[in-house]
Structure 1
Amino acid sequence: MTSKSENPPPYEDALHHPKYINSPHHLQNGSPLPPPPSYSPSPAVGPGLPGFWGQEGVYPQAGVLATVPTLSAGVSTSNPGDTDDFMNTQWESTSVRHGFIRKVYLILAAQLAVTFSVVAVFTFVDPVRLFVIKYPGIYWASFAVYFVVYCVLVCCKELRRRFPCNLVLLGVFTLALSYMCGAVSSYCQTKAVFIAMGITAVVCITVTIFCFQTKVDFTSCGGFLSIAGILLVIIGIVTAVVLSYRYVPWLHMLYAAIGALVYTLFLVYNTQLLIGKGELAISPEEYVYGALSLYSDVIQVFLFILQASGAD
């Protein structure tokens, strides 16, 4: 314990009375120390904090410190080398993503060129058109090939990345789905086929521009799209049963419109996965899967619109 006389003098007395000049707080090696700096009012840094303008003799509160903001990515501004490395990494990542997008759209363009060339042959060449109508079993065989190859490419990740097996399977898948589109087009009027092609092209261009410009994240809606796909299958089964008894003849157009809308949403979802701006993204190594998903969505939109356009 210390007595009251041993306590250091108050601040005001030490500042104005020289009798305390010999106190241990003012001597250092026999020479007087300069008086402590006077405290001046400081501007307010927030409501309820001391030191705002207008108060006299208010000391700054201990623990209230000012902070200097740094880069949002966590790179310290005191080390410019880290900043350069971070910017280089971001640039390389963006370059890889852009190269991946170009590769996917080049594959998609080749697939669509093959598909619509086959559709044109099945639409304008009458012998081919009559052959498909006469032997519908070939259509179901192409559907089986399409389904099997699609399941293999979706489920087997290593096979998708192994060149040239991935491109061979993708070519088989494209030919099978192209034959399916051609077979369906053989049952439709030429005018309906052209209308479906035009509407599909407009939908795809609009969706692509929308996905590159919007800030809305559709990649978090995978559960909703799965439920929509299941409901579409159920509606299709009900529609097939009802139409077999020739009830509600306009029901197939309603089903086609719903299907086109659902697969347009799938196209938005897969395009944003490709771009990589949302919560989820496709790996740059999965260019086969990216082209496969976009191609399937575009073809399904075309088939549903073709169904809604009318048949012979």
Structure 2
Amino acid sequence: MAKAKQVSTLSKSDNEPPTYQEATAGYDEMEAQFAWDDRQIRQIFIRKVYAILLVQLLVSVAIVGLFTFCEPVRFFIQTHPGLYSTSYMVFLVTYIALSCCGDLRRQFPWNLILLTLFTLSMSFMMGFVSSFYNSKSVLLCLGITALVCLSVTIFSFQTKIDFTSYHGVLFCLCMVMLLCAICVSIVVPFGYVPWLHALYAVAGAILFTMFLAFDTQLLMGNKRYSLSPEEYVFATLSLYLDIIYLFTFLLACFGGGRE
């Protein structure tokens, strides 16, 4: 009888659910391991994006320098404006493909092929535009762009301000810039207004400086919104366009025409 009672007691204790401490034992270690793995993946993602971005910028600077300082090349492209139109079409097609086709921009090697065509076409257009400006002005704007990008990147990594939560503000500013561009295009045929052109260029430079901070923090992954580590092509595309547009507006603001 005593043995039967003891067996009954043991079976009852075996059927009891585990306590909270027993059920969550080892959870902290697992959470720390997952957080560590996520940080490792994010760091690899950031290094990959900036490595590709560095190659893009080196190609763009090389093409801009060639078109600006090499007189035969400059004369050739200025007398063949159809090359600019072709580059613009390639830029537009590759940009739409990389921006709208998520599966395509994640599929290797097509994503890198499209990104290469996009970079070359954009660099050619920038070189074409830069060829009409004074060489010193181009160098000055390149230097200012480099300093601004470095400062904004360091600030975005260090600050506690979450720029990713201001996407609505950036959208409204883009709409304002669009309306201003329409107004400028209407005014220009009746006469060139230097101060209006300079004001629009300064506003554009400020806007894309803000976009650079926004996209940098999306890349970091420690703010309200972040990019998936699979989206390294889209992240590179965003940062590259921010820098190119910043350079374009600075060139429009500070650049002097070639004599």
Indicate whether the TM-score tops 0.5.
Answer: yes
Q: Deviations over 1:92-137 (max 9, x none)?
A: 0000000000000000000000000000000111111112221222
Residues in 2 aligned to 1:214 and 1:199: alpha-carbon distance in whole angstroms: 22
Moved over 4 A (4+): 75-80
Structure 1 residue 237: Cα displacement: 2.2
Q: Secondary structure at 1:176's aligned position in 2?
A: helix
Q: Secondary structure at 1:250's aligned position in 2?
A: helix
Residues in 1 aligned to 2:22 and 2:68: alpha-carbon distance in whole angstroms: 65
Contact 2:141 2:255 in 1 (8 A): no
Residues in 2 aligned to 1:286 and 1:294: alpha-carbon distance in whole angstroms: 12
Residue 166 of structure 2: aligned partner: 221
Structure 1 residue 81: Cα displacement: 1.6
1:178 to 2:154 alignment: no
Residue 10 of structure 2: aligned partner: none
Residue 62 of structure 2: aligned partner: 117
- Change over 3 Å in CA distance of 1:117–1:247 after alignment to 2: closer
Calculate the aligned-residue CA RMSD, in Å: 1.6
- Determine which of 140, 143, 151 is the counterpart of 1:198: 143
- Determine which of 165, 170, 179 is the counterpart of 1:234: 179
Structure 1 residue 208: Cα displacement: 0.5
1:306 to 2:248 alignment: no
The correspondence of residues 43-122 of structure 1 with structure 2, limited to 5 A, is 79-122=24-67
- Identical-residue share of aligned pairs (%): 46
Which of structures 1 and 2 has the larger relative contact order (alpha carbons within 8 angstroms, sep 6+)?
Answer: 2
Q: Work out the number of aligned pairs and report it.
A: 238
Q: Deviations over 1:138-180 (max 9, x none)?
A: 2122122212211110110000110000000000000000001
Contact 1:122 1:185 in 2 (8 A): yes
Q: Which AA in structure 2 matches 1:104?
A: V
Q: Which AA in structure 2 matches 1:279?
A: R
Contact 1:77 1:83 in 2 (8 A): no
- Change over 3 Å in CA distance of 1:205–1:163 after alignment to 2: same
Structure 1 residue 80: Cα displacement: 5.0
Flag the structure with larger Rg.
Answer: 1
Contact 1:76 1:82 in 2 (8 A): no
Residues in 2 aligned to 1:198 and 1:226: alpha-carbon distance in whole angstroms: 28
- Determine which of 74, 82, 94 is the counterpart of 1:137: 82
Residues in 2 aligned to 1:217 and 1:277: alpha-carbon distance in whole angstroms: 9
Contact 1:257 1:308 in 2 (8 A): yes
Residue 291 of structure 1: aligned partner: 236
Structure 1 residue 247: Cα displacement: 4.4
Residue 155 of structure 1: aligned partner: 100
Residue 15 of structure 2: aligned partner: none
Q: Which AA in structure 2 matches 1:108?
A: L
Residue 114 of structure 2: aligned partner: 169
Q: What stretches of structure 2 of length at least 5 have no aligned partner?
A: 1-19
